[in-house]
Chains A and B, each alone.
Chain A
Amino acid sequence: MMELIAALLLLLFLSVGFAGAALVDGMLPAFLAGQSRPSWRRPIADAARLLQTQRIRTEAPDALLWFLAPVLYLALAIIGLAVIPFGPGLVTIPSEVGIVVWGSCEALTIVAVFMFGWSANAPLPLIGAYRYVAIALPAMLLSMFVLIGAALPAESLGFTEIVEAQRRVWNVVRQPAGLILFLMLGLAISLRGPFDYADPADLAGGTTADVSGPMVLAWKIARLTMLVSVSAVTATAFLGGYLGPLLPGFVWLLLKTALILVVLVGAGNFFARMPPARMMSVIWTMLLPLSFLMLLAVGVELLLWG
């Protein structure tokens, strides 16, 4: 019964979150760029335009994988969201290994993006796909260390326990740098800003360069859903998820998710993208040791005062 309610809440969360994400994504960059009065109707109008546009194939594409890539991406975003509790016991897929499920979603996202770029049989998408794999693989490693840091005080891999363990103190206090590392992962798997190695401007749109109409729309929808999903996971793992006074847990989670989402969209516009080779080496030689240290700090803190 609880699962059914949770499933309905999931749908609600998805639609509200998606609408919010579309608005923020459509309006915030325009606002930051100094354009006057971006309209809220733009995202819908744009979607209508894309729906009416012809879908183009390239010479000998891998039609099956090309079609499956956005579907898989979207499905992963939804599965990732489904292991998040909306309140005590309110989980669509109650899993005692929630963070591992989320980790699998991250890993399969890399596969989905690669499939999307590969299938077009065109040079710019291909380069984008390969580049993305180089960055997303090590970035995923970081996020897993950070999540394990969040799981230590909870003595469990499930998200519900992780939230409950934050009743005393939120994880963001325990590992502030962990939150930043996780936000980086958020940028990487929702393909934006400094971690958007799949669809960057220097590849004329990268994996989307040879995709048109409804396929572009599907890809955008999947990206935005993944943005909502990763924001919700961040809010759950670091900002106490559904915890909060007065308002119901669901609303709290929604508010925290919205906060993270705005931060992600904003951050995506304010940091430069390094060449992939440089970024790869930064991740391995600087950020990975940092995540080790974070884990050590959380461990020591737990041993001394836990």
Chain B
Amino acid sequence: MAVSVLSNWAGEAPVAVFVAIGEGMRDRLERLFNDARFVRAASPRHAAIFLIAGRMRLEDREDLRRLHDQMPHPRVTLLWNAEVGEALGDAEVFTGSTLEVDIEASEAGRSDDAVRDRLEKLWQELASGERSSEPDLLHDEPPNSWEGIGPHGQGGQGMMGGTPYGRPMAMTSDDLRDGLALDLYTARFGPFLPMFPPGLLLEMTLQGDVIQSVKVVRPPLSQAGGNDVPAALLRLARLLDVLGLPVLGQRARLAAVGGATSVPLEKLSRAIHWAGATLAIPRGLGAVEGYGDTRTRFANLVSVANGFSPAMWPGLTRSAHLSSILPGLEWSEAMLVLNSFDDETLSTLAAIVEGADEDRDGHDHDSGHMHHDHGGPHDHDRHQGHGGRGSHLGNDYHGRHGGHA
């Protein structure tokens, strides 16, 4: 009884969706969430529906599977114009509207509405228990076997060695900023982190929250967004979200759609001014030659909201690259920088650099095993005792991953 009351209520809840955005779908998806019935979850842990929209690269599939499994039960996946093969099991595919009228009209707005309806229907089925939650796609095994290994059965050895609870421990290295040699944290962030451009996969090494080194593993997926006013407004909305102004971001998104609910742009830009958004961006942050710093890029976007046409930027200098812009920044600053570029510039900045020390990691990582790094018999002796993990920054450190090259 109590359970059914709960499910009834739950069915009314806004549908929490975690999205993985594929090629050319970003702007459309952001408009999808203008509807109050839907909430875009920041993390799969908060979502019930996994929406995969647009075409994905082959190597993204493994990440999608991982994201799928990170969601709590009950969960369901919806593929929207997505081609992911069998990677997501027998998830429901949505290729447009089911109504004939809509197929003929093939108008984006109509199809968006159809997706909304489908999402809502899915959630109601899930909440009422008609649809069962999807099982895991990956095998239920830890990245390294650990149970029963080691003196306490926790998988570790000595002070820092082994793989306690399935993962090795962080090792010490020098720091870029203040020379205290503390531990490094290396991980691949992305490709579907909500505050990252979709598809961008960075291998970052952090110390505390300062980024020590960055390597682009996969560039962002190309988006249709041009340089027109709606695209600029959407970009402004993303920056506003990162600045902690989701309400203003939402208004900018509504303005980008236009129509009856549209917000006067002057009002929006005044609100942004009074929010102190410009002051919240440090001067000189993420400066790129010819492109100003993050603050000027932001000011440009705001002036678009004021009615000026979007600025045109000159070509990039050859040397500008994310792997040289981001290191040394704190996480929050780095997120501001990442979101301040337009799509074209960003894809140039995030291009995979061809070079002697590069290793086409992007292709290695996706070959289907979660524990690519710690597999192999050699790893165990490496993690014992003083462990030989990454005491060098930058290229030397990357060399470890691309040893075969």
Contact = CB atoms under 8 A, between A and B. Distances in A.
A202 B332 contact: yes
Given A131-B209, A271-B276, A202 B195 contact: yes
Nearest to B36: A35
Given A34-B251, A36-B261, A56-B45, A272 B244 contact: yes
Nearest to A28: B247
The prevalent SS among residues of A at the interface is loop
Contacts of A51: 6, 10
Contacts of A204: 42-43, 193-195
Interface in A170-216: 193-194, 196, 200-205, 208-213, 216
A263 interface: no
A19 to B, nearest CB: 15
A270 B247 contact: yes
Among A32, A48, A127, chain B packs the most CB atoms within 10 A around the CB of A48
Contacts of B193: 204
Nearest to B12: A45
B200 to A, nearest CB: 14
A156 B276 CA distance: 38
Interface residues of A, number: 55
B48 interface: yes
Interface stretch (B107-115, B159-167, B218-226, B306-314): B159-167
Interface in A254-306: 269-278
Nearest to B271: A270
Given A48-B10, A216-B46, A277-B330, A272 B280 contact: yes
A167 interface: no
B139 to A, nearest CB: 15
Contact of A201 (B7, B242, B282, B330): B242
Contact of A209 (B7, B45, B209, B261): B45
Nearest to B44: A212
B142 interface: yes
B167 A59 contact: yes
Interface in B133-154: 142
A36 B46 contact: no
A194 B247 CA distance: 13
Contact of B46 (A59, A194, A212): A212
B72 A53 contact: yes
A70 B276 CA distance: 32
Contact of A211 (B45, B195, B206): B45
B205 to A, nearest CB: 11
Contact of B331 (A30, A47, A193, A203): A203
B122 to A, nearest CB: 14
A205 B43 contact: yes
A94 interface: no
B32 interface: no
Interface in A18-65: 29-30, 32-38, 41-42, 44-49, 51-56, 59-60
A145 interface: no
B385 interface: no
Nearest to B272: A272
A42 B13 contact: yes
Nearest to B250: A33
Among A59, A60, A204, A211, chain B packs the most CB atoms within 10 A around the CB of A204
A34 B279 contact: no
B335 A202 contact: yes
A123 interface: yes
Given A269-B246, A271-B275, A45 B13 contact: yes
Given A201-B42, A208-B46, A49 B16 contact: yes
Interface in B274-309: 274-277, 279-280, 282
B242 A202 contact: yes
A208 B42 CA distance: 10
Given A204-B42, A272-B275, A274-B279, A34 B254 contact: yes
A42 B279 CA distance: 35
A41 B12 contact: yes
Given A34-B263, A204-B195, A123 B282 contact: no
B51 to A, nearest CB: 16
Contact of A275 (B13, B208, B282): B282
A30 B14 CA distance: 12
A196 B245 CA distance: 11
B185 interface: yes
Contacts of B274: 270
B73 A54 contact: yes
A49 B10 CA distance: 4
B187 A201 contact: no
A55 B72 contact: yes
A34 B251 CA distance: 6
Contacts of B42: 201, 204-205, 209
B397 interface: no
Interface of A: 29-30, 32-38, 41-42, 44-49, 51-56, 59-60, 123, 127, 130-131, 193-194, 196, 200-205, 208-213, 216, 269-278
